[in-house]
Structure 1
Amino acid sequence: MQTSLYKIWLIARSEFWRRVRSKAFILATLLVPVGFVAVAVAPALLGYLAEQGSHQTVAVVDRTDRLEDSLSAASTDQLTFRPVDQSVDSVRAAVRAGTYDGYLLLPDSLLEGTAGATYVAAQGGGLTDKYQIEQRVSQVVQAQRLQGANVSEDVLSIIESDVSVKRRTLRDDGAQADRTLAYTAIGYAMGFIIYIAVLIYGQYVMQGVIEEKSSRVVEIIVSSVRPFELLMGKVLGIGSMGLVQMLIWGTFVAGGAAAAAPLLALFLDPSSLEVSPDASPDAIAEAAGVTIPTIPVELVVWFVLFFLGGFLLYASLFAAVGSAVERQQDAQSLLIPVMMPLIIPILFLAFVLESPNATAAVVLSLIPFFSPILMMLRAAITTVPVWELAVSFGLLVMAFVATIWIAGRIYRVGILSYGKTPSLREIARWATYH
């Protein structure tokens, strides 16, 4: 037993260091966080720059004779309404000449509600321009209709006022600010991270087995170690590599979260948020309604455990598939039974997000092939009893033990089998060989 564990340790260590020292690992570890930041920040930054750099001048042809002044007063730095006293044909010619970006036609029956406004642009605009024009026309028309109905100023202020509802979550130490949206995003991210990690690192395991088998190196290796020891060492070594990579990326994320508030404060005006000009970046961000939640330590611990459990479960299956083929292309048809249990929880993400405590959600999160993704999602967005987490992880461990035993029996036959790609029925029969 001791010798067997030592051999597994040697194989796992060799797999770990061989891959961690590779240029591909180093580049992926450094570039993936940069890519995530670029994907997350670039759309918002480009949208901000586009908004700052764009300006629309809209001519207003007001046939009601009651709206043009209000629209002109509703102009902003990005959108200017300019009343004109010209015919539609003249305004259309001015738009073609580039004097205006478009013109807004307000028919005389607009205030009665029997006709709508029409906006004609020189070129197709974006959704933001369309929304801004519609919003301001609706506000001005609504205000004018209310005034025409002799509604008092008090009633107008009531209609125009917004009521904010602050959500709080009841905790043992009292009610705290509700961060459901933030923790939903965290849970969703954790689920997808585990899905992508299991898929990528599982492919590493399969590819490594195929390379060793096709080069006949495995024939030399199995003369010194048993196939099961080789399988377990390979799975543990690549799993350790994946965990190290995740921890490094987690450090980058933690550093980025710590720097998020100071960076956000650079783009916010304290006076518009009714806070002191010398307020801290955290206070400015909180006044803007943007807070970076603190991820509980226990959630991180469970994430690591379920990540390892999910990887070990699926990696053993990927290794079994890799041992049955000689080329990467031949493995595609055999991967379908392995990939289906990995894809199914993705289909239930929306349901679990909507009803994390529903009976179906609880049952699905206890199934070992689904629990690495769905249980982590539930743990992030709601309070999951510790016994549920423990039972789910216990079932995951037992499923891994059973799977690695079956995969080991397939592996010992598959790595020394060459020629025609076996069918699923033949692979199942390998598991019964003594």
Structure 2
Amino acid sequence: MNKFWIVLAHTYFTKLKSKSFMITTIITALLVLGLTNLNHIIELFSDEETKTVAVIDKTGELYEPLEEQLKTDGEKDIDLRMFKGAEDKAKEKVQNGEWQAYVVLGYDDKQLPKAAYYAMTVADSDTPLQLEQALQQIKTTLATAKIGLSTEQVKELYEPVVFEKVALEKNAKTEEELNQARLLVYILLFAIYIFVFMYGTMIVMEVATEKSSRIMEILISSASPVQQMFGKIFGVALLSLTQFSILFVIGYTSIKENGELTAILGFEQIPVATIAYAIVFFLLGYFLYATLFALLGSLVSRIEEVQQMITPVNLLVIAAFFIAMFGLNNPEVPFITVTSFIPFFAPMIMFLRVGMLNVPMWEIALSIGLLVATISFFAYFGAKVYRGGVLMYGKSTSFKDIKKALQLTKK
């Protein structure tokens, strides 16, 4: 048992002190900080200068209503200026950079407002959009006045229809709670996907590197292959939890400091059960795929063969992720319910259902039980394959090598 802890500690501290781990953690932490403070970053680099837009009002009636409507809409970054000169002169001022753009106002054949917006480029969509929306309000007012509708009648006409959504199920989540849960589940699903993918591959590379350098022959004489296998799995698991904890603390602290994002995500009301299930399914998902990756890693002799061998497992992880993405909008469909009990998909799909629905406890227990049973099977079977696989050298061509590894185990 002491040799198991030695392998675990060696795997953990070697990876923890590696430059790649430190660089990856720092870069990911910066990305997390950037994403959680994206609104502040955009404000920091946004151009807050007031944009001067000249108005040539051919009607003599629309300039003042347009200016008033922009003020009503709260648009403060557009400075409207009445211009009574020729359009050629206005064009020169835009080309010289004195004005951002100029607008020509007029009436169409129905005596309703129309406009033409002139600028050096139309890459800036905000300014013309704000002007268009303001002019649309004026057009609506004039059109309704023509048919004799009062202001109150217009407001009543455009008032949104009352449409309530009432859940009859006891303790069912409200629409607001579902939207918050959907976003939280998406973030945690993405974290599970990335970490299972990244650290599962790390186990394969670890074993393949040792085999390709012939270090495995020395290691076998000091510790049994089974001890090596589980030592590496738990060592990398501890490493992943270390990195995940660092990133979670940074991300959570940053979100808490960002009041707007906290309100959107609903981080002040995260159920403790959701966090607990996230940890449980994260660990179970990791150990399931880790045993598979370790098994496959023992069959390859060169690093170049790793990608080909682990592709089927990678496809399972990708499939689980995409099914989960589909389930975010349809968590109650039978397909999602069924896949939540399939061990390879359960870490993501059952967690998705738990986060968004009131899932019966027996379903959660059954899913976790099937996961634990599958992990136990692959741990037992993987240990047998690993014991013989680490002694196999030469090109690994297919999964038929598992049979060869089992035969070597019996010797």
TM-score bracket, normalised by the shorter chain, equals 0.7 to 0.9
The CA distance in 2 between the partners of 1:92 and 1:192, in whole Å, is: 51
Deviation per residue, 1:369-388 (Å, 9 max, x gap): 11112222222222222222
The answer (yes or no) to whether the contact 2:205–2:306 under 8 Å persists in 1 is no
> What aligned pairs does 1:280-295 form with structure 2 within 5 A after superposition?
291-295=266-270
Q: Does 1:57 align with 2:55?
A: no
The CA distance in 2 between the partners of 1:28 and 1:169, in whole Å, is: 44
Find the partner of 2:64 among 51, 66, 69.
Answer: 69
1:174 deviates by 10
| Counterpart residue identity of residue 99, structure 2 | Y
The CA distance in 1 between the partners of 2:44 and 2:109, in whole Å, is: 35
Q: Which residue of 1 aligns with 2:329?
A: 354
Q: Which residue of 2 aligns with 1:85?
A: 84
Q: Does 1:337 align with 2:335?
A: no
The CA distance in 1 between the partners of 2:13 and 2:132, in whole Å, is: 60
Deviation per residue, 1:343-390 (Å, 9 max, x gap): 002222332011111111111122111111222222222222222222
Secondary structure at the counterpart of residue 117 of structure 1: strand
The CA distance in 2 between the partners of 1:129 and 1:409, in whole Å, is: 68
Q: Does 1:38 align with 2:18?
A: no
Q: Which residue of 1 aligns with 2:4?
A: 8
The CA distance in 2 between the partners of 1:368 and 1:19, in whole Å, is: 29
Deviation per residue, 1:150-200 (Å, 9 max, x gap): 321221343465689898888978997933222211100111101100111
Q: Which residue of 2 aligns with 1:156?
A: 154
TM-score by length of 1: 0.82
The answer (yes or no) to whether the contact 1:71–1:81 under 8 Å persists in 2 is no
| Counterpart residue identity of residue 53, structure 1 | E
The CA distance in 2 between the partners of 1:195 and 1:411, in whole Å, is: 25
The answer (yes or no) to whether the contact 1:52–1:78 under 8 Å persists in 2 is no
1:432 deviates by 4.6
Find the partner of 2:191 among 190, 193, 197.
Answer: 193
Deviation per residue, 1:301-338 (Å, 9 max, x gap): 21111111111111122222322223322212112111
The answer (yes or no) to whether the contact 1:57–1:102 under 8 Å persists in 2 is yes
1:71 deviates by 0.9
**Structure 1 gap ranges (5+):** 266-284
Secondary structure at the counterpart of residue 77 of structure 1: coil
- Of all paired residues, the percent bearing the same amino acid is 26
The answer (yes or no) to whether the contact 1:72–1:82 under 8 Å persists in 2 is no
The answer (yes or no) to whether the contact 1:324–1:422 under 8 Å persists in 2 is yes
Secondary structure at the counterpart of residue 354 of structure 1: coil
Q: Which residue of 2 aligns with 1:182?
A: 180
The CA distance in 2 between the partners of 1:214 and 1:174, in whole Å, is: 55
**Structure 2 gap ranges (5+):** none
> What aligned pairs does 1:134-173 form with structure 2 within 5 A after superposition?
134-159=132-157
Q: Which residue of 2 aligns with 1:364?
A: 339
| Counterpart residue identity of residue 156, structure 1 | V
Compare 164-173 and 73-82 and name the one that shifted more: 164-173
> What aligned pairs does 1:186-335 form with structure 2 within 5 A after superposition?
186-261=184-259, 291-335=266-310
The CA distance in 2 between the partners of 1:92 and 1:339, in whole Å, is: 59
Q: Which residue of 2 aligns with 1:426?
A: 400
Secondary structure at the counterpart of residue 328 of structure 2: helix
Deviation per residue, 1:61-106 (Å, 9 max, x gap): 3334432211122343211233333343332233223332112233
Question: For the structure 1 residues 58 and 124, does the alpha-carbon distance in structure 2 shift closer, same or farther, using more than 3 Å as the test?
Answer: same
The CA distance in 2 between the partners of 1:213 and 1:328, in whole Å, is: 9
1:231 deviates by 0.8
The answer (yes or no) to whether the contact 1:110–1:116 under 8 Å persists in 2 is no
Compare 157-166 and 135-144 and name the one that shifted more: 157-166
Q: Which residue of 2 aligns with 1:19?
A: 15
The CA distance in 1 between the partners of 2:128 and 2:371, in whole Å, is: 51
Question: For the structure 1 residues 37 and 18, does the alpha-carbon distance in structure 2 shift closer, same or farther, using more than 3 Å as the test?
Answer: same
